[in-house]
Structure formats: structure tokens, C-alpha cells
Structure 1
Amino acid sequence: MTALRICLFGSIRIARADWASELKITRAVQALLAYLLLYRHRIHPREVLANLFWGDHPEERARSCLSTALWRLRCALEPGDTTRGTYLVTTPMGEVGFNHKSDYWLDVAVFEDQASRIAGKPIQVMDADDAHQLENSIQLYVGELLEGFYDDWALRERERLRSLHLKSLAHLMRYYGYHGAYEHAITCGQNILNHDPLREEIHREVMRLYLQSGQRAQAIRHYKSCCQILDAELGIPPMEETRMLYHQILQGTGDQQTQCTP
């Protein structure tokens, strides 16, 4: 059983093994740990970390704050007889990093590995196991990365992983559409729009999916919903391509083929 489990999607959670006992650390220490985890394949100079997290303090005070935070983090991750360096590693030069070869589970790492690998496959060569793994990775995204943290580095990583999440949903939508699993595909499309309602190309794909599944009336209703969203948020009508698709659906000549390009 994995010795340490860490979740960075949504609220930060850190626990031993099976979540029987969650570790409680301060917000500043949480931020430091999250940074070391997100950049776990790097070793970080102490002066860089001190400036990043306590840059508004005098230099000596910033170094002291970093030392205290690292001590607290080590006490939480490596208590008692745990070998020093199991999770936090230091170099002879005093640089610091997270031991990415240690026994740990990180939701972001699993999500990123599976989503990047499978969402990069053409949907025509994906199989049911690929789809299942992609579904599982998407389920790890229970909320945006590090909710409540607004440091520049956190915002950059949040947006990067948010984009991968939406890309994964779109890939799964097209996979299901390609194989005629229209309800699953529509659910994926709706999930994308829940996160990013202004994605007009997704609105069009959902309209096509409704049409392909024999739900012409629902395709029309979805178009009207798209119009309302664009008007309320941007004060603009749908693009010509979207309007043309709507009129084709009204006339019964809509494109019956759901887009399935990667």
C-alpha cells in the first residue's frame, strides 16, 4: 500500500496510506509542498524558494521562514523513525526538492500521465480500456488545482491542467461519438460546457450528437441555449457556422456525422 497519498485538485489533502489519518499542516507549508510536488523533477535553490514565498520579507527573515516551513514539512512527512530524505531531499549545496522516487501517490501525477498519454491517441485506435483509463483520470479532477491559492505559479499550473482536463473530455466525447455511444458523448460535451460555456465548437458538436442520436428537438433546444449564453456573456450572436448548422437541422438536412477528429 502506498505510504503517502496527496491530492492537489480541489482542497489539498495529505494522508498516510488509506486516508485513515490526514496530515494537518499550515497554509504556508501546504503551498511549499504543492510547489515541490508540481516541480518534483527539479531541485530548488533555497534563495529561490525564499524569494518566491516570502519575497515581501527582508532577505534574512525570508530565509528563516523557509527554514521553519521546511522543518514543519519534514516533521509532517517524515515523523519518528522515518529515514531523513524519504520525501524531502537536500543537496550538499542546500538545495531542496521532493523525492519523486519515493513511495507516494499524487492525483495530479496520475491524471497528467494518463490524460496526456491517452488524449494524444487518435480516437480511431483507442480501445475500451483506453476510454476507461481516461474516464478514471478525468474523475480525479474533482476541482481546480489548489483552490484558494492565487500565486502566479499556482495560476499557471491551474490553467495548464484545466486545459488538459477539457482536452481529455473533448477527446472522450469524440471517441464515444465515433463509436455511436451518443449519450456518453453528450454527457462529456455538457461537462465541457459546464466548465467553459463559451466554447462554440463544442456547442456545435453537442448539437450534432443530439441529431445523430435522433433527438432533433433537443438539438434545436441546445442551439437556443447557446444563443442565450453568448448573448448574456458576450452580447453577440452565434458564429455563422453555428447558425448554418441550426438551419440545416430545422430543414432536416443537418450533418448527420458527428465530428470525430482528434
Structure 2
Amino acid sequence: MSGRTTVETQRMGTAMPGSGIVLCLFGVPSIDLGDNPHPLTSSAARLAAYLALGPRSGRIRSLAAAHLYPDSPPPLARRRLNTAAWRLNHEIRAAYGDDLIVTPHGSQTIGIDGAARITVDVWAFSDLVSGLVRVPPHAITIADVERLEQAVHLYRGQLAPAVEDEWVLGERARIENLYLIALSHLVRYYGTVADVEGIARFGERALDVEPVREDIHRALMRAYAASGRQDLVESQFERCRITLQRVLQVAPMPQTVELFRRLAAPTDFACEEVTALLADLNQARRDLTQVWGRLDSVVERVQRLR
């Protein structure tokens, strides 16, 4: 019996239970009240992302000003930071009625108010996925699957896609990698419970991010094979082959071809494309053998001339 029904009935919406408002930094940055998202301006989104990706206790104000406005002298950078914080609070106050950014009296820090009824989607995503990425896919439980699905549901696009500052690039790549690992775990799980719809749903999300990643295509092939769908194994391999040829002008890696050979039914494996690929690989192996043989012959001749 598939665990999909149990998991999906408990999947949360964008605004998590118990949160008054969600600061969304995945995809188009916005303040989300459930049915009424308010997009943030670019300057407000940039400051919100910078603070959300830092320590949850806040950032040192002088460092924040220097990081966000490196081309401005310190006094001007601090004024620009104060203005950005005011604008962000103004945008959120208009939608929610409360401030998001706080600067505790007598403190040199600036950060997101931990006491406010505000949830940050990046924080929620990291909390849900942390720890599970180290669990082998075969060992995840139904509760783990629920957490992974909640995390995947929160990921609505790249982290602060309009921001290209150095401080966001590494975190964006880290979050994207966690997202792909979560999807891989879900694909593997739904393969073990023979839920083809679940395999396809989460596999497609992974390929939306990295369409030429052969390890994702191989994970899908394994999951479809575990579900007994040899036809989908074959179609996934063909999709991988066509995508690689169109985007990179290369053939699938030998391990991808070999995996398909092992997973596909004998009759399926007789397709012309796979036969041609194997023929090319075998010919390349023979060519290399001949080259090494000729090299050995030349070395022997040179040694005799000495």
C-alpha cells in the first residue's frame, strides 16, 4: 500500500500552521498571508534575504552596512541600511500590521524579530531537511517523508533569484543541493512503494532544476524498475539520451547505459538507440586497445635502435 495518501493529506500550505505570516524568499520574494501574497520591492527583498541567511540572533549593523553597500563610505552605508530597514518594515506593516526588522535598544545588531508571528520559508525549509539528508534513502520513515514533502512544497524557486551578491550565491547553491537530495529521497521512497505518480511528480521537479543530471535520470530509472514499470524505465532512458544530445551534444555516460541494460527487459533492450550506443562504446574500447598495441610496438622498435 502506498504511503502517498497519508503524506499528502498532511502536507502543509505555504503559510505553516501556527504562523501569522510567511516571509517567502523562494521564487518571487513576498509576504504571504495565505491567500494574499504581497511581493516585496527589490531593496526590501535584498535586505530580508541578507538577514534571513545570517545568524538568527541578527547581524552586526556595521558589517551589514558594509556588505550590502560596499561602494558607499561607512556613514552613507549605515544611512542606506537604516532606510532599507524602514522601507522593509513599512511594506510588512502595511500588509501585516507589525514590524519585521528590529534593532534592540543599545545593541549593535539588526535582525528579524524572533518574537513576531512570522515564519521565514528558508528557515522552515532548513529545519525540515536538516538531518534527513544524511539518512540513507532506504531507511527513511513515513514521518521523514512527510517532512521532506513539506520542505519540497516550500521551495517555490531559487533563493532570492534577483539578488546576485556574493553573500547569497553560496547559500543559494547549498539550498538547491538540499532540495535535490530531498527530491532524490522521495523518488527512492515512492519507488519502494510502487507509487508511479509519486516518482514522476518529484522526479520532474528535480529535472526542472537539473535536466542534464544523469544521476537524477538513473534514480528515476531505478524507481520505475522497482515499481515494475519497464516501459517507464525505457522512456526515461530515452528522455535522458535526447536531452543530453540536445543540450550538451553528448551521449549518456557508460554507467547510465549499463544501468539501463541491467534494468530493462531483454526485449526492451533490443532498441536501436541502445544497441548503437553499446556498439560505439565497444568500438571505442577496441580502438584504444589498438592504439596501446601500436605504442608498445613503437617502444620496442626504439629500444632495439639504441
Q: Do the two structures share a fold, i.e. TM-score over 0.5?
A: yes
Give the CA deviation at 1:164.
Answer: 0.8
Give the CA deviation at 1:75.
Answer: 4.0
> 1:191 matched to which residue of 2?
205
> 2:82 matched to which residue of 1?
67
Question: What is the identity, as a one-letter code, of the residue corresponding to 1:32?
Answer: L
Q: 1:51 aligns with which of 53, 58, 66?
A: 66
Query: Which protein has the bigger helix share?
Result: 2
Give the CA deviation at 1:25.
Answer: 5.4
How far apart, CA to CA, are the structure 2 residues paired with 1:143 and 1:21? 15
> 1:168 matched to which residue of 2?
182
Q: 1:13 aligns with which of 30, 34, 46?
A: 30
Bigger drift between 168-177 and 225-234 goes to: 225-234
Contact 2:222–2:233 (8 Å) recurs in 1: yes
SS in 1 for 2:59: coil
Q: How does 1:1-262 map to 2 (within 5 A)?
A: 2-15=19-32, 18=34, 22=38, 26-77=41-92, 87-90=101-104, 92-248=106-262, 249=264, 251=266
- Residue deviations 1:203-250, cap 9 Å, x none? 123223333434323322322221222222223221211122333425
Structure 2 CA distance for partners of 1:135 and 1:66, relative to 1, 3 Å: same
User: Normalization by structure 1: what TM-score?
Assistant: 0.81
Query: Which one has a bigger Cα radius of gyration?
Result: 2
Unaligned runs of 5+ in 2: 1-17, 270-306
Query: How many percent identity over aligned positions?
Result: 29
User: Normalization by structure 2: what TM-score?
Assistant: 0.70
- Residue deviations 1:79-127, cap 9 Å, x none? 8xx898x741336253222233432112111111112243433444433
Bigger drift between 205-214 and 169-178 goes to: 205-214
Give the CA deviation at 1:177.
Answer: 1.7
Contact 1:40–1:98 (8 Å) recurs in 2: no
SS in 1 for 2:103: strand
Give the CA deviation at 1:151.
Answer: 1.4
Contact 1:78–1:87 (8 Å) recurs in 2: no
**Cα RMSD between the aligned structures?**
2.9
- Residue deviations 1:156-175, cap 9 Å, x none? 22211111111000011112
Contact 1:8–1:146 (8 Å) recurs in 2: yes
How far apart, CA to CA, are the structure 2 residues paired with 1:131 and 1:34? 28
SS in 2 for 1:96: strand
**What count of residue pairs does the alignment treat as equivalent?**
249
SS in 2 for 1:168: helix
How far apart, CA to CA, are the structure 2 residues paired with 1:235 and 1:100? 50
